[in-house]
Structure 1
């Protein structure tokens, strides 16, 4: 009995979805996970995996783009109205959860994507954070005595540092949201000279 084209396409779509789900789950905990492990977790063979993704880099790129779209959707849902400090606390909490969940994928993506592609995929989250910091500066609740670009670099460094600290076991994951929030808000807070 021959399998028609519609059934083959449905099988292919299921395989691609299984591969992407398995790769996302595995890369989120181990950026160096092998293609063999991903194929096994997806319930497909290497040949099937390579039939859809010609290289490990192509698979990592597809996973990265998928995660970035999901991340952007989650961050778009964050309420940024009201007091800039409260809005920043909410944005940091959401950003931290996503950084913690998908941080290892960023490591894998940095090997698979060009620096220009990495900048492009971070544009929207950076735009959102920049707008909120600028608003807080305009409202007088965030300091203005340093460049906004430095403040954004500091936020990013705190998030990435927290991710590394949690993964090393230096900081319990359940404490990280509070630590990230408090550290960033303290760094942004207006001081007597700010």
Structure 2
């Protein structure tokens, strides 16, 4: 683990970002907060954090994956954890390819995130499931993949999937991860 304990949190939910930041400060991290890619880029001009927590879906329609790419380019040794309420295999794979060390689905707490910073190499003993992936899960992952491709534009996603916008909106509401 990097010794400097400087953490950058890129999260558009200001309340969650402050709460998470305070929790890490109690663990002796120095915390920087950014709500989007541009704010993070400005902070990187003056600071070199060793850690970052990045929300996958930011309110300005920027994907957190772009933030991961920028952070990794800035410092390939930075430990980056992607935190999301919209988890999918596709975005998990892309996050790791772009430089994240871990990918966590919400709800995750400070313990989970700090443990993720410590498990960079991966664990070969992870329990494998004997169940095959369900059709609903495959559908949800495909929907999310297209959402990411379209910058979370519901109308364009529905068009690309060949479904009515309201049908897609209902499916998204049913699958909401809390």
Q: Which TM-score band (shorter chain)?
A: 0.3 to 0.5
Normalised by the length of structure 1, the TM-score is 0.30
Max radius of gyration: which structure?
1
Q: TM-score of the superposition, structure 2-length normalised?
A: 0.32
- Structure number having the greater helix percentage: 1
Larger relative CO (CA 8 A, sep 6+): 1 or 2?
Answer: 1
